[in-house]
Structure 1
């Protein structure tokens, strides 16, 4: 298991826009470098990417949830 950590404080979004599909859902395969969501702070959006390949096991933050630097956003089951 590998945790995906928030790089900065802000609001975490799982989708690129309100009427768009999520970047990834729990149970979906992910590849290293894949975007799983974005963190917004003062209208600036920073992509959050997985460092490892595997299956997205779970999100630890709800969509539109507040995050701080170092918070676990999601967990990937490697392999």
Structure 2
């Protein structure tokens, strides 16, 4: 099993859920498929979905909800089966 990091594609604010009262998109330990939304990045009042590019298990989040990120910052780590 290998790991793959999900990185911020550009600077912005990371959100794990779409609204304060909504559940998070993905919990740690949850299996995700290619294209599953794991969070949002807000840039200049525009919200962009952050999607998984591989299938695997979300091992951990490195970024907290509402964290300010720079491009390339690690958001989460996936465990991927080869």
Q: Distance in 1 between matches of 2:35 and 2:71?
A: 19
| Aligned residue-pair number | 79
Query: How far apart are residue 75 of structure 1 and its match?
Result: 0.5
Which of 50, 53, 56 lines up with 1:54 in the alignment?
A: 56
Structure 1 runs of 4+ aligned residues shifted over 4 Å read none
- Cα RMSD (Å): 0.7
Gaps of 5+ in 1: none
Gaps of 5+ in 2: none
Q: Is 1:67 aligned with 2:45?
A: no
Tell me the secondary structure at the aligned position of residue 60 of structure 2.
strand
Normalised TM-score (structure 2): 0.92
Tell me the secondary structure at the aligned position of residue 22 of structure 2.
coil
Bigger Rg over Cα: 2
Which of 43, 47, 50 lines up with 1:41 in the alignment?
A: 43
